[in-house]
Structure 1
Amino acid sequence: MAVVAVVAGCGNDSDDTTPQPTGGNGGTGGTGGAGGANTAGGGFGGGTATPCDDGIACTAGDHIDSTGRCVSDCALPCYANEVFCEGDCGSTCIDLDTAPGYHPARGAYDDPEAPNPYGGETYVISVDGSDTNDGLSIETPWATFNHANQQVQAGDRVYVRGGVYSFPQYSRIGAAGSNPNNYSMGTETAPITWRSYPGEFAILDGTGGTVLTGLLTISYANWNIVQNFEIRDSIGPGLAAQGSSDHHFTNIWTHDNFRSGSGASGIERVRFTYMTSADNFDEDLGGENADGFAVGSGQDNVFEYCLAVQNSDDGIDLWESVNNTVRFSVARDNGLGPEGNGNGFKLGGGTSGGGNLVENCIAYSNRSRGYASNTGTGNLPNTVYNNVAYDSVTGFDAHSLAHVLKNNLEYGATDHHITTEVDDQFNSWNLGTDLSDADFSSLDPTHLYTDFLRLAPDSDAVDAGVDVGLPYHGAAPDLGAFETP
């Protein structure tokens, strides 16, 4: 357990005793997320400067500086692998290794004046730029992604100045087809990077658009890093990826789009980290095609620290997709459309799919199921370890195949649907006793990043699991997404 500063009253150092999730691979290291070693514990500390989200005021002990950023009045900064959090998690530092669904504050953190680690050129886009400029400085920026897409080479990086970019159509990274010109083709050792300028945040706005495609579309290109953007009000998906591989999308907020916040098809080895997708609703179809995150016919993709909130269909939908991993992520209040399915995590379906791994995730207040195998013809079994389902009609739905469910915790659900083919040992429904509110430190979802759905120390679900290869405290793993200290 890390020793960190107590937030309340900006007090003295103390051991934090808040139960934390079991750890994992941390964040994203050198590509913009916060990396970290495996850990089974973490803590909270004093604050540091971060931008304020729209509509969120600074909390007690903080003030807004001249740039509109929330600045903590506490003397101590956040620790190396922590970020400051405002809003529903209060004035506190969040340990990125141990906070499902948390994403860094808005803004970019690297220095465009520093040497490019990938050896390429550094370009700038601005709302008042011109594509006739050379794009090589903040004095001579380009104006559009589409122009930059046709100029950049492997290893280049593009900084997008803060402001609202109105795209009535869409912007593309890559090509519409086979990409014979190799637009935006990075490599493993020299990816192409697109990110908001340090201390600023670029907003891509699709108001008035007429083309049913992603407002920012990445297609038939490989090895791009896209970081620190807000994408909103697209007539199609907010962020779309198609026919490409090895991208990394991180710290992107997609919301109020008419299809999925992030929609993808035919992608491989793409990482989604610290992403939030909220309030996406396809009004013309009654909500059935607007997930938080949707991947169709994809494989070997990874979702970490993602948050899917109040979407009209599902939270994370892996339709006909195989061998994907979802961890440390949250899906809540999905299924708002009359035709929306309302699953937190959908793990297969169609004529192929499955073989997906879900661990250390939280699903709550989704209209239908927390976790759904969605098994179809030709699907593969899924593996579901150390997750929580709360306040849904069905917590866990796994059937027809030899799915493996272990160390999962279901509470506040009407039932679970598990058929005899499934290996479902060491879950809350195997305890032989019913859980109660007293088994939890908190059932208040406004405490998502503190003690919501963490087990009380004397709960029967503590040490009731089995070793599945994840870190744990005590004699055996706890049930659910979090380990008690």
Structure 2
Amino acid sequence: MQLIVANLMVSLTMSLTASLSAASSAATYYVAPTGDDAANGSKEAPWKTIARAQTAATAGDTIYFRGGNYTYTAGVNTCATRTDTVNAVTLDKSGSDGSPIRYWAYPGETPVFDFSQMKDDCRVKGFNVVANWLHLKGLEVTGVPQQPENHLNHESWGVWINGSHNIFEQLNTHHNMGPGVFIKNGGYNLVLNSDSHHNYDPYTSNGAGQSADGFGAHIKADNPGNVFRGCRAWANTDDGFDLINAFSPVLIENSWTWSQGYIPGTRISLPDGNGNGFKLGGYGGKYVANGVKHTIRNSVAFNNKVSGFYANHHPLANDFFNNTSFDNGIDFNMLGIDENGKPVHLGNLRNNIAFGGTLVANMEGTDNQFNSWNLPVSVTAADFQSISNAGWDAPRQADGSLPVLKHFHLAPGSALKNKGTNVNLPYKGAAPDLGAFDD
């Protein structure tokens, strides 16, 4: 026994020593639009490109990007065909557990990765992330293009992910011709306090606006742990959050989505833009036997063209806990599908609020209790401190978290306070409040 303990202590000491050594040897590099890749990467002599920084970086290192525009005119590869894909930035060098490679904005500055000048005549990935244990923070990604003469493809992508254990924090992805942030595959990725907005794919082969989501996850089976937390999606032509073809569970929490399905910045409907706030699964409207349950909680959807919270023909019941939906075409739409391909209503709903628009659809047969529509009261504007749909895109707090608003927080005397049930989420008072905010 003493030998076992001694060996364990030696192992722990070696592990701690290795961790401390890695931490002490971690390097910090700098990149700037005015830099030079022949420089040494110091603050005084920064590099010019992220590609140069990646060649030097190892696990535990931090690369700071100074503010300004990083403009791209071509991919690192070329289009073999008009239906090929090119990558503008490829991150393929991994960090390690506890020692990620950090690609961070320099504090107080905004590095803008602008891909709008690219003329590659095929699909484009702005950031092609195929490594593990990376942490991207504070980067702005914009302008990922489609070419107007090429209608052979679906979307391009702002940030395309096929890796695991990565963090994408405080990203601002906008005005891309496809989704802002898209998880193709991998597990335990966290998209944290990020925005994706005004994305529009006008040249997509199956219709303008069909594929430009704010955030998407189409992951394969056996890739758990993907989370969207504290994120906002607005003014995207397709959906705010889209989990169609996600064969591993995804969690969305503390997130907001509004104004999907229109030409960005207008109320002009795009016929091919789906226009849902949160689309939780669905597998293209076909029944699959290996579908998985997704969870959405403490989130808000409003002013979306079709549905705020949508089951999208999912084959099993997802969890919808403590959400607020208002002024959507339909606030909560639980249209599912059974093993025979027939419509069925599926969902587990607790502590939700629907207000304005069509409150619910396809709800009969679902497991729904302790929601605003289950109560013997009428929900009115007086139940809330504010019912404004303005200001949701206000600047984030210093730590990147969502702005503090009064909108749709319950008024002190509301009949919706303390009317929920315990779903293992924190709450104040005798019982959970209904809706996304428990004050």
Q: TM-score, normalised by structure 1?
A: 0.70
Partner of 2:279: 346
Identity of aligned residues (%): 33
Offset at 1:188?
A: 1.1
Unaligned runs of 5+ in 1: 1-114
Paired residue for 1:303?
228
- Hey, what does 2:46 align to over in structure 1? 141
User: What residue is the counterpart of 2:151 in the other structure?
Assistant: none
Q: Relative to structure 2, which stretch is displaced further, 283-292 or 437-446?
A: 437-446
Gapped regions of structure 2 (runs ≥ 5):
1-20, 78-84, 146-155, 263-269, 337-343, 393-403
How far has the Cα of 1:451 moved from its partner? 1.4
Are the aligned partners of 1:170 and 1:216 in contact in 2 as well (CA < 8 Å)? no
Aligned equivalent of 1:107: none
Aligned residue for 1:325, secondary structure, equals: strand
Cα 1:412–1:420 shift into 2, 3 Å? closer
- Whether 1:216 and 2:136 are equivalent positions in the alignment is no
Residue 194 of structure 2 corresponds to which residue in structure 1? 275
Q: 1:453 pairs with 408, 417, 421, which one? A: 408
User: Residues of 1 paired with 2:24 and 2:174: CA distance?
Assistant: 32
In the alignment, which residue of structure 1 is the partner of 2:212?
290
* 2:142 alignment partner AA: R
| 1:284-334, Cα deviation, whole Å (9 max, x unpaired) | 131010001111125421111100010000001112223111111100111
Shift of the alpha carbon at 1:238? 1.7
Name the residue aligned to 2:313.
Answer: 375
* Structure 2 CA distance for partners of 1:138 and 1:150, relative to 1, 3 Å: same
Question: Judging changes above 3 Å, is the alpha-carbon distance between structure 1 residues 204 and 457 closer, same or farther for their aligned structure 2 residues?
Answer: same
Aligned to 1:234: 144
* Cα distance in structure 2, aligned partners of 1:438 and 1:134: 61
Counterpart of 2:332 in structure 1 is: 396
1:349–1:481: structure 2 CA closer, same or farther, 3 Å change rule?
same
Larger deviation, residues 196-205 vs 245-254: 196-205
Once the two structures are superposed, residues 150-196 of structure 1 have per-residue CA deviations (whole angstroms, 9 ceiling, x without a partner) of 33221111111211000123579xxx99xxxx942111121100011
Task: Judge which range, 327-336 or 470-479, deviates more.
Answer: 470-479
Could you tell me how far apart the structure 1 residues matched to 2:62 and 2:95 are? 10
**The residue matched to 1:147 in structure 2 has which SS?**
helix
From the superposition, tell whether residues 451 and 165 of structure 1 become closer, same or farther in structure 2 (CA, over 3 Å): same
Q: 1:52 aligns to what?
A: none
**Matching residue of 2:28:** 122
Amino acid at match of 1:344: G
- Shift of residue 280 of structure 1? 0.4
Distance in 1 (CA, whole Å) between partners of 2:71 and 2:59 is 27
Deviation at 1:125, TM superposition (A): 1.4
Structure 1 residues 459, 170: CA separation in 2 closer, same or farther (over 3 Å shift)? farther
What corresponds to 1:46 in structure 2? none
Partner letter of residue 370 of structure 2?
A: F
Q: What is the CA–CA distance in structure 1 between the aligned matches of 2:141 and 2:215, rounded to whole Å? A: 14
Question: In the alignment, which of 81, 100, 109 is matched to residue 200 of structure 1?
Answer: 109
Q: How far off its partner does 1:142 sit?
A: 1.9
Structure 2: which amino acid aligns with 1:226?
L
1:171·1:215 contact (CA, 8 Å) conserved in 2? no
Classify 1:126/1:171 alpha carbon distance in 2 versus 1 (closer, same or farther; 3 Å).
farther
- In 2, the alpha carbon distance for the partners of 1:207 and 1:289 equals 18
For residue 429 of structure 1, give the secondary structure of its aligned residue in structure 2. Answer: helix
SS at match of 1:150: helix
Q: How many residues were matched structurally?
A: 358
Retained in 1: the 8 A contact 2:345–2:362? no
Write the distance in 2 (CA, Å) between the matches of 1:393 and 1:199: 40
* Structure-2 residue corresponding to 1:357: 295
Q: Tell me the equivalent position of 1:313.
A: 238
TM-score (structure 2 length as normaliser): 0.77
CA distance in 2, matches of 1:238, 1:183: 17
Supply the distance in 2 between the matched residues of 1:333 and 1:429 (Cα, whole angstroms). Answer: 24
**1:169–1:215 contact (8 Å) kept in structure 2:** no
CA contact (8 A) 1:347 1:354 kept: no
Question: 1:197 Cα shift?
Answer: 1.6
Structure 1 contact 313–342 (Cα < 8 Å) conserved: yes
**SS of residue paired to 1:302:** strand
Supply the distance in 1 between the matched residues of 2:76 and 2:380 (Cα, whole angstroms).
51
* Residues 140 and 186 (structure 1), Cα distance of their counterparts in 2 relative to 1, 3 Å cut: same
Specify which of 371, 375, 381 is matched with residue 427 of structure 1. 371
250, 254, 260: which one aligns with 1:324 = 250
Instruction: Give the secondary structure class of the aligned counterpart of 2:173.
Output: strand
**d(CA) in 2 for partners of 1:130, 1:401:** 59
Alignment partner, residue 358 of structure 2: 414
Give how far 1:117 is off: 4.6
- Where 2:124 maps in the other structure, the secondary structure is coil
Deviations 1:345-397 (CA, angstroms, capped at 9, x unpaired): 01101145441111100001011101111134xx4431110000000111111
Cα distance in 1 for partners of 2:111, 2:313 equals 40
Deviations 1:23-80 (A, max 9, x none): xxxxxxxxxxxxxxxxxxxxxxxxxxxxxxxxxxxxxxxxxxxxxxxxxxxxxxxxxx
Distance 1:311 1:281 in 2: 6
Helix, strand or coil for the counterpart of 2:325? strand
Instruction: Give 1:68's aligned residue.
Output: none
| Aligned equivalents of 2:25, 2:275: Cα separation in 1 | 46
Instruction: After superposing the two structures, state which structure 1 stretch, 299-308 or 357-366, moved more.
Output: 299-308
Work out which structure has the larger RCO, using CA pairs closer than 8 Å and 6 or more positions apart in sequence.
1
Deviation of 1:401 after TM superposition, in Å, equals: 6.4
SS of match in other structure, 1:438:
helix
Select the structure of larger CA radius of gyration: 2
Give the SS at the match of 1:343. coil
